[in-house]
Structures are given as C-alpha cells and as structure tokens.
A and B are shown apart, each in its own frame.
Chain A
Amino acid sequence: MDSMAAAETCCGGAGISACQDASSSSHGPAPCEADAPEPGGLDRRTALKGIVAGLMALSTSACVPTGPAVEEFLQKHFKELSKNELDALLARLEKTYSEQLGKTMTVKATPPQEGVSFAYALDISRCIGCRRCVYGCVEENNQSRNPQVHWITVLQMDKEKGVDFHHADAYYNAETVPQPGKFYFPVACQHCSNPPCCKVCPVGATWKEKDGIVVIDYDWCIGCRCCMSACPYGARHFNWSDPSIPSDEVNTETEYLGNRPRKKGVVEKCTFCVQRTRQGKYPKCVEVCPVGARKFGNLLDPKGEIRYILEKKRVFILKEDLNTSPNFFYYFGI
C-alpha cells in the first residue's frame, strides 16, 4: 500500500499547486477563497475546482506506475477473474511471496474436479489425542507459529459424559495419551453443505466450492470476523498480527484458496488441504495420523472408504440440530 499512499500524496500535491498557481496569477497574493463574495463566480469556481480534482483523481490511476500494491488494490473478485487475469495474479503472488520468504514459492488455483464431493470421516473410537494432526496441518498449511494458529482443535472428553463441549478440555497435557476414562474429539472446519459462515460474509470472501470445500479468499477478506461468530464449530481463526513462519519450515507448494501465506487481519481455516486433495492426494492430517482414525474421500464414489463407513458404521455429525449439514462425519469404528 505504500506506493498507493505515495501516489495519493503526489497527486494531492499537484492539485494544491495547480490551485495556487491559478489564484496567484489572477489575484496575486489573494487566496482562492477571495472570490467568495461574487455570486455565480463562487459556484463556477467551486464547480471547476471539483471537476479538476475529480479528473486528477481519474488520471491518477494512469499516471502512477502500476506496482503490486496498486494491482492488489484494483484486484477483482476471484470468481470474476478471467484466465489471463488469474495467471497474472498468481504470477504476482508467486513473485511477492518468493521475495518475502526468500524461497521459490508456487501459487496454483486448481479448479474443482467434476463429479467429486469431498467428505471426511473421523473414528473417535480410535483417536488417541496425540495432536500429530494439529502440527502436521500447521506445517502443511503455513499457519502462523507466532502468534499461534491451529486449524484443528483436539478436545479431551470424559467417556462418562459423552460428547459434551461444556466439559471438554483442549489444553490437556498428559504424559501419555490416551488417558483412562477419556476420549478425544478433534474439531476443524466441517465443510458444511449449508455453511452459516458463507451466508454472513458481507463481502463474499468465503464460499463453498463445487467439490464441497469451503474456501476463503484472503485478498478479499476484510477481517470483520462475522464468519467466526457464525461458525458453530469454532473452526475459523483470525490473524491478530502478522503471521510468522520460519523460512525453512515454509511449504512452498501453495494454493490461492488454500495454504498461501496470509496477512494480518484475515480469517483462515481448514481447506481439506485443497493444495493436496485437488491433486488427488490425501490431506496431511490423514497421512500423519498414527492410528488411522482419519478417512477422506469422494462421497460420490460408491466404492470409496467414506461410503463404506457411512453404510456400515455408527456415524453422527456435529450439532446436527443446527441444520448445517456437515461433510465431516464422526463414527465409531469399533
């Protein structure tokens, strides 16, 4: 934004000097406001000044050399970008991120596959609460290390009480897990079919893609956090200050709607590892889970593991009464 600010200052300065030139040549030392007593003259002059200012503002966009900040300012909504504009945008982001992080970053915008609707299943009878998924996700998705952002929250619950959020503990720190009498309940974005977060976004910065992934455009997010208060799962996280990631831990394979570096003041959340799953791979949390409690696949594939689980296991969804229709299923494998 620095060059934008500079541009405004520059043109503002030009405007003032133009006004001063005009007034000094016509009236000598008299200020611009000296015309005020004359009716008609005042109107004309004020109108002219207005027009001049307006025109200068118009010509500003052309006279300023187009820098990344200006391009960012003039960027269109992601869904309205043409192929060329999208390519230019991705190239600009790759350049910016590579300079920022001192590494060659790739930013892709892979479209959703046809005939695919992603779904996730999590076996709460197997999860042992080791938090491998939490930190695997942090590394894969370039979450801020300081201040800490975690997309997955693992809750420890009492077997006696069942799934009860009032008695859940996200800060357990036992020597070993699982602890007797406890079970573990990881929560992240549920990728609802009826997502309240997308309904409340005042600028259309978050939406549900055709393959079922709820995404955020970090360039479009204004940081109002309406979506965070609308989400009944606490799955959305806000960047309260500039995210920091050690340069050697940055994942250089990024996706525009996924794990590309974020900035201060935007909301982020689980994207089903869009940078992996749209390339056919499993999400990172599935691959790091040491007990195989996490399952991922295409809901529309009748032979896939998700359908096997939905048909054969005791499955439930979280906060069913809210009618959010999550695509994230919890089940009892044993």
Chain B
Amino acid sequence: MDRFPGKLILLVLLVLFLIGGVLAIIVRSEESGASKTVPAVTQLPKDSQKDKDDKAAPEKEPLPEKEMPGTIAVAPPPFTRGIFPCMGCHEDLKPNTTQRKLTIRHKDIILQHDEKNRWCLDCHTSGDMNHLHLASGKLIEFTESYKLCGQCHGPTLRAWEAGEHGKRTGSWDGEKQYLLCANCHNPHSPHFKPLKPLPPPVRPENLR
C-alpha cells in the first residue's frame, strides 16, 4: 500500500508522456505530411524534365551549320586608348608610301613579324588608316583582322574557328565570344610573352 501513490504518480506521468509523444508524432507527421506522401525521388526529375522541355524548345534553335567568317562575335580590338579612329590624325597627313623607319609617331612599335619582308602598309591602308586590307586589296574592319592573319596562318585560323586555337568566352552551348588574334598576340610582335606566375601553393607542412 505504501508504494501505491508512487506507482500512481508514475503511471500518471507515463500516460502524460505517452499522450505527449503520440501528439508530437501526429503533429510532426502533419507538418511534413505533404512531403511524405509525395515520393521525393520521382518528383524532382519529373519537374526538372518539364522545366527542361519548356526551356529546350526555344533554346534548340538550329545553330548555323558553319559560322561564316565575318559573323563571328569577337572581342573589341585591343587599341591603345584614344588611338582609334586613326583618321583623326591621318586625315590631315599626306600619305607617304615610301618604306622607312618611323621617327615622329608610333616609334614604340617594333615590328618583329617577318620584319625583313614587310612593313606597315602591307596590312594598314594608306589613305584609309581606319581599315586594314587583305593581300587582294580588299578593305576589312579591325574587328575582322583574323582574316588578315589567316592569309598566312590558315591552319591556325581554321582551328580558331573550330574553337580549338585561342579562347572562347560566353556560353558553351550558346553564344560565344571569340578573342581576336590581336587580343592575345601583339600583331607587330606576335610571339607570346612570358608571364609572372601567381604565387605557389602553401606546402602542407606550413598550412595553418
């Protein structure tokens, strides 16, 4: 008999906890009920599939079979600040087609690009300095300078068009921007210059 109240209290406590526990389970299952009834794994791919289909329709526009030279989106040519348009200065200058060493302006340009056989006006156009010209005499914009380079470097031009030579930025599955030859190679001295490397990694024993 003396142990009866203790047992009673324990029983009451037990019942209380039981009710609490059951309630808790019910509340929790109600909270996450929606998610539990839906099989999670099948839901996600279906949604993504649908999204993909919706998006894919307009995105799967047929790409041009082969991008023709001239339609390639390129980065702006790397002009020295304020130097273009060239005719800003050259308008008032009398064209001088005699091969010579430049002594007044553009002295900083040192030609190291088959310099024995060529000079400025093999690529630049006397009388229309805003344009370059091909060997045929056809005038081209500075943004099409790859055509000029491709006259000698044909395989490289083809590799560049295919995306193998040089760098493309933008989208791997959409619009790409090509860098012009001149964005990486100085056309007057095209050999790639050595760079200072960024710092080496910390050795594991010095990692803190």
Contacts and interface: CB of A to CB of B under 8 A. Distances in A.
Interface in B1-34: 2-3, 5-7, 9-10, 13-14, 17-18, 20-21, 23-25, 27-28, 34
Contacts of A27: 6
A129 B197 contact: yes
Interface in B44-82: 44-45, 47-49, 51-52, 56, 63
Interface string A272-287: 0000010011100011
Contact of A282 (B3, B20, B159, B171): B171
Contacts, number: 180
A308 B14 CA distance: 73
Nearest to A313: B164
Interface in B130-178: 159, 162-174
A76 interface: yes
A55 B27 CA distance: 15
A173 B202 CA distance: 12
Contacts of B93: none
Contacts of B199: 131, 173
B208 A146 contact: yes
Nearest to A293: B167
B168 A282 contact: yes
Contacts of A22: 6, 9-10, 13
A31 B48 CA distance: 61
A164 interface: no
Contacts of B52: 111, 113-114
A269 interface: no
A26 B9 contact: yes
Nearest to A171: B200
Nearest to A154: B197
A52 B18 CA distance: 8
A76 B43 CA distance: 15
A81 B201 contact: no
A114 B49 contact: yes
Contact of B200 (A58, A85, A172, A304): A172
Nearest to A279: B171
B24 A61 contact: yes
Contact of A290 (B27, B34, B172, B195): B195
Interface in A104-141: 111-114, 116, 128-132, 134-135
B110 interface: no
A131 B164 contact: no
Interface string A254-282: 00000000000000000000000100111
Nearest to B13: A18
A280 B172 contact: yes
B35 interface: yes
Nearest to B25: A58
A218 interface: no
Given A18-B13, A240-B207, A130 B197 contact: yes
Contacts of A287: 167, 169
Contacts of A295: 163-164
Contacts of B203: 171
B94 to A, nearest CB: 41
Interface string A236-262: 000010000000000000000000000
A148 B202 contact: yes
A308 B172 contact: no
Interface of B: 2-3, 5-7, 9-10, 13-14, 17-18, 20-21, 23-25, 27-28, 34-35, 38, 40-41, 43-45, 47-49, 51-52, 56, 63, 159, 162-174, 179, 184, 192, 194-203, 207-208
18 contacts: A41-B3, A52-B17, A55-B18, A55-B21, A56-B17, A61-B28, A62-B28, A79-B41, A131-B198, A131-B199, A147-B202, A147-B207, A148-B207, A173-B199, A280-B172, A291-B167, A295-B164, A309-B164
Interface of A: 18, 21-23, 25-27, 41, 48, 51-52, 55-56, 58-59, 61-63, 76, 79-86, 111-114, 116, 128-132, 134-135, 146-148, 150, 153, 170-178, 240, 277, 280-282, 286-287, 289-292, 295-298, 301, 303-305, 308-309, 312-313, 333
Rank and list the top 8 A-B pairs by shortest CB-CB distance, nearest first.
A26-B6, A62-B24, A305-B163, A292-B167, A111-B48, A176-B194, A131-B198, A82-B40
